[in-house]
Structure 1
Amino acid sequence: MERKPKNIFVEGPITPIKIGNSIENHSKKTGIGGHSIFLGQVRADVKEEGTVKGIEYTCYEEMALEKAFEIREDVFAKYPLTCMHIYHSLGYIKAGEICLFVFTSSKHRKAAIDACEELVERIKKEVPIWGKEIIGEEKAVWKENK
């Protein structure tokens, strides 16, 4: 059976309820020994133009989903994972809100931790998602992923 790209996008911030529910949903999977979670939060960076109030995330969705699927398949092939979840925000996310949630699970912690780290790095570098930093009422600056 051919696997299809899963929608990783969430409109608006990723809520603590979504994160908590995702964790709770794994409590019945008793073969899991370790989870690794990464939460990306919008920073209120101070720039030359002013303080970042939030980030407006956009993407070319079809291409982004294909790339995320490719990364997901690569990481599943490389590590003995039980579960993997990736969620990325689209739209306006205020400073202090969560914009990226990566959650990996495995029988042993090392695989979950290593897979989670690789996913985050590859998502930031390879998935065509753009963030425009909103500074004050009238200024915006395109963000560079690091």
Structure 2
Amino acid sequence: MSDKKIKNIFIQGPVPPSFIAESIGKHSSRTSIGAHQIFLGQVRGDEVSGKVVTAIEYTAFEDLALEKMHVIREDLFGKYPLTCMHIYHSLGLVKTGELCLFVFTSSAHREAATQACAEVVERIKGELPIWGKELFDDSTHQWKENK
């Protein structure tokens, strides 16, 4: 593993829209950037067996998730000419309609930012030990399957 510091990707509760706007605004002085790609994950109010999802409660094996995310991050910086990459994933309760994942990649050109963003989202979903418990309108719950 590299000597670079492992970044914490976790925030408690939903990702506030104002935080996203501030993150975008902070990059306006970085004039070598020509493209940003953003992915926002939002909790859906799915209907499952006649019950409606009202929220998801996220938990994670945080230390392992952060180590794995560090490896993914290093891999993507080696694969794509990125200027920067920011990732924020919710822990705790996130209600339907609220944001639970914010991925923000930047590069000189759109292709690298777009491809890296798509790949990091898929790898987060497939490789990180993060789980969501769907909470339903009838006060029951079940563990969510990552799709």
TM-score bin (small chain): over 0.9
CA RMSD after TM alignment: 1.0
- Tell me by how many angstroms 1:49 deviates: 4.9
Q: Would the aligned equivalents of 1:5 and 1:69 in 2 still touch at CA under 8 Å?
A: yes
For this pair of structures, how many residues does the alignment match?
146
Q: Residue 116 of structure 2 aligns with which residue?
A: 115
Q: Residue 63 of structure 1 aligns with which residue?
A: 64
Look up the SS of the partner of 1:26 in the other structure.
Answer: coil
The residue correspondences of 1:13-52 to structure 2 (distance < 5 A) are 13-52=14-53
The runs of 5 or more residues in structure 2 that have no matched partner are none
TM-score (norm 1): 0.98
Q: Residue 81 of structure 1 aligns with which residue?
A: 82
TM-score (norm 2): 0.97
CA distance in 2, matches of 1:111, 1:90: 29
Q: Deviations over 1:4-29 (max 9, x none)?
A: 21000010000011100000000000
Pair 1:9 & 2:45 matched: no
CA distance in 2, matches of 1:72, 1:134: 31
- Tell me by how many angstroms 1:138 deviates: 2.2
Amino acid at match of 2:141: A
Instruction: Kindly report structure 1 stretches of 4+ aligned residues shifted beyond 2 Å.
Output: none
CA distance in 2, matches of 1:141, 1:60: 18
Q: Deviations over 1:35-67 (max 9, x none)?
A: 000000000000105000010000011011011
CA distance in 1, matches of 2:27, 2:92: 28
